A and B are shown apart, each in its own frame.
Chain A
Amino acid sequence: MTLNRPPRVHPARPRRIWPLLMAALVFAGWPATALAHGVAAGDKGFILESSGVLLVPFAYLGAKHMVTGYDHLLFLFGVIFFLYRLRDVGLYVTLFAVGHSTTLLAGVLLGVHVNPYMIDAIIGLSVVYKALDNLGAFSRWFGVAPDARAATLGFGFAHGLGLATKILDFQISPDGLVANLVAFNVGVEIGQLTALAAILIAMGYWRRTHSFHRHAYAANVVLMTAGFVLMGYQLAGFFLLSLS
């Protein structure tokens, strides 16, 4: 129960240097926070310094994390790639949201510490999966594709666990925790819808071009490449920094 631990005291080190130290470390891409996309030093400093219910700030942080989180966005991009009807977009995005909200809340409240490198590698894997699914590779190779809805929900769980790990890493105050978490989660959904709107508009224009289906194949191969890069990046971090 990480969160119920009394606040750490550093008698020999004034508390004021922490934000500075964090700034320096995060600026250098501090891999101990294992962020596929670093949350800015200022945000981490803010969370360390604050306690109590802060709904709008936490909603903002959630939205920012999603809009600037390229791993979540790549997956989302893959999921809606061939979804043409708004009803389907709504269904899949809801499944993803239900998945990551569940593990975000449960992960933080139960203090589930998963290795941040491993969870980010799984998020990379989710991008590879979606690219292969879009290419029709599973049905071609195995005769049957995994249920896309179940996979979206399942990888939603993984993405939420990634979010939870990052929040736990911030050593968020137990004071006002639940309200702040819910606010963060609402922010994540707002950020997701904002990003989704932008992706859908761009896709809408792209789909109207005659070359879309030709480019769609190449685009999903590039998406798969990006997923493999994410996996390699995080697995290397796991072996270098978590096992040593």
Chain B
Amino acid sequence: MTDAHPGANPAPHPTSRQLLRSSVIAVAGAILILATVVLPAEYGIDPTGAGRALGLTRMGEIKLRLAREAVADAAADEAAAKEEETAEPVAAPR
């Protein structure tokens, strides 16, 4: 047993080849899930068209637009706050 720590798997260790195969399966599975479900639903990125078919891409596009607006809004607030620190408070330019 090379693993001495108590969290080590007490079962017989799998071979290096088996572990590599499992890792490749895990990465491939993750890429598949990301490409067909997560990226369309979160960011509107839909490389396979599955997101559109599932109705997820639209949600992602809306989220991405809102997120970009929020980032821009936060940047504007930041600039406004800086201005307030240096100058007399005046009505916001909007």
- Residues of A whose CB lies within 8 Å of any CB of B are 5-6, 8-13, 25, 28-32, 79-85, 88, 92, 131-137, 139-141, 143-145, 147-149, 213, 216-217, 221-222, 224-229, 231-233, 236-237, 240-241, 244
Contacts and interface: CB of A to CB of B under 8 A. Distances in A.
B19 A140 contact: yes
Interface of B: 2-3, 5-11, 13-16, 19, 22-23, 25-27, 29-31, 33-34, 38-39, 42-43, 45, 62-64, 66-68, 70-71, 74, 77, 80-81, 84-85, 89, 91-92, 94
A229 B38 contact: yes
A221 B18 CA distance: 11
7 contacts: A31-B42, A80-B7, A136-B3, A137-B19, A145-B8, A216-B11, A240-B43
A29 B94 contact: no
Given A10-B92, A229-B34, A30 B67 contact: yes
The interface residues of chain B, by DSSP majority, are classed as: helix
B89 A11 contact: yes
A179 B85 CA distance: 28
A141 B91 contact: no
Contacts of B89: 9, 11
A32 B65 CA distance: 11
A225 B13 contact: no
A12 B9 contact: no
Given A134-B9, A137-B19, A232-B30, A144 B67 contact: no
Q: When A and B form their complex, which 3 residue pairs have the shortest distance between CB atoms, in order from nearest?
A: A228-B30, A12-B92, A139-B2
Contact of B23 (A92, A224, A226): A224
Contacts of B45: 236, 240
A51 to B, nearest CB: 18
Nearest to A147: B5
Contacts of B6: 82-85, 88
